[in-house]
Amino acid sequence: MRIPPPDGSRDPRTEDPTNVWFVHLIGRILLPVALRVRISANAVSVAGFALGAAAACCDFHWRQSGYATIGFLLAIAWLIADGLDGMIARATASASALGRLLDGICDHGVFILLYCALAASIGTAGAWLLAVGAGLVHAVQATLYEGERTRFHRRIAGDAGTFAAPGQASDGLTRLYDSVAGSLDRLAEPFDRRLARSADPGAVGRAYGNRAWRPLRLLSLLSNNMRVLLIYAACLAGDVRWFWRIELVPLSVIAVWGIAWHRRVEAGLVGEGTG
């Protein structure tokens, strides 16, 4: 059977190698089968959530021989389904706002179940506090990573994006949230404006991509794949709390360093007047 080529939705230079060489490769092998049986992208998202929930049930028993490995294999199956649903949506031109929302809910839902299962397996207040803290940090990291990755793929296509006016929310709390949430967009905006003014946005986008893929590759350590691997490693090490500690400190350092590196690349290109 001929494996379909990548659909070009992601630049392989920025991808986690486990995605390029395994998770998405398996998804591309399964894609023709999924298209033949006419399974929808949303159905695959829901099936992936079920696999992730089963992984969480196994991880609750991680101290018992074999359960951590079964949970790890089920989590890998969830990762494959998580990539396959997008492939189906693009191949059938059925991508929708509802599908994106469902995919996001399933992704976050699986990790909530995994964190809760691990915390419940320990059963102490300290474990729950660590799990909640790591979960909140995870949510921030994931949002920042997705924003940086979306920005990168838009730019290498020569798309400068849009420049929204500051929010005019009536209450102070919403204005504060909008200010924080949009802070990275404002820091990244000088390069987008440079790209928008360029006579050859495609050339500028290519020059940007040739430099910016490195910080994006570093940020790929924040991917779901890495967290699944870290959970399994912590189970094998005999203390799942190590996963949350890594989430809180080393992965946060990677997020800060990778985003700062990305901004430095942008500033260098703006200073050079590329394009």
- Decide if 89 is inside a domain: yes
Residue 2 forms part of a structural domain: no
Looking at residue 8, its pLDDT comes to 77
Task: Say if 3 falls within a structural domain.
Answer: no
Examine residue 177 and state whether it is found in any structural domain, yes or no.
Answer: yes
What CATH number does residue 253 fall under? 1.20.120.1760
Residue 39 DSSP class: -
Domain contains 51: yes
Provide the token pair at 70.
């079964």
Helix locations, the chain, DSSP H: 17-18, 24-37, 41-60, 67-91, 97-122, 125-156, 172-181, 183-197, 201-219, 224-237, 241-248, 250-272
Residue 157 domain-assigned (yes or no):
yes
pTM of the model: 0.90
Q: How far apart are CA 40 and CA 43, in angstroms?
A: 5
Question: What does the pLDDT profile of the chain (275 residues) look like in tens digits?
Answer: 567 778 777 899 999 999 999 999 999 999 999 999 999 999 999 999 999 999 999 999 999 989 999 999 999 999 999 999 999 999 999 888 888 888 889 999 999 999 999 999 999 999 999 999 999 999 999 989 999 999 999 999 999 988 655 555 556 655 655 565 567 788 899 999 999 999 999 999 999 999 999 999 999 999 999 999 999 999 999 999 999 999 999 999 999 999 999 999 999 999 886 55
Is residue 250 in a domain? Answer: yes
The answer to whether residue 71 is domain-embedded is yes
- In terms of residue numbers, what domain contains 33? 12-272
Count up the domains in the chain and report the number.
1
Q: What is the reported pLDDT for 275?
A: 56
- Pair 131, 118: CB distance under 8 Å: yes
In the chain the first and final C-alpha atoms are separated, in Å, by 44
Q: What is the pLDDT of residue 176?
A: 57
CA 224 to chain centre: 6
Give residue 100's pLDDT: 86
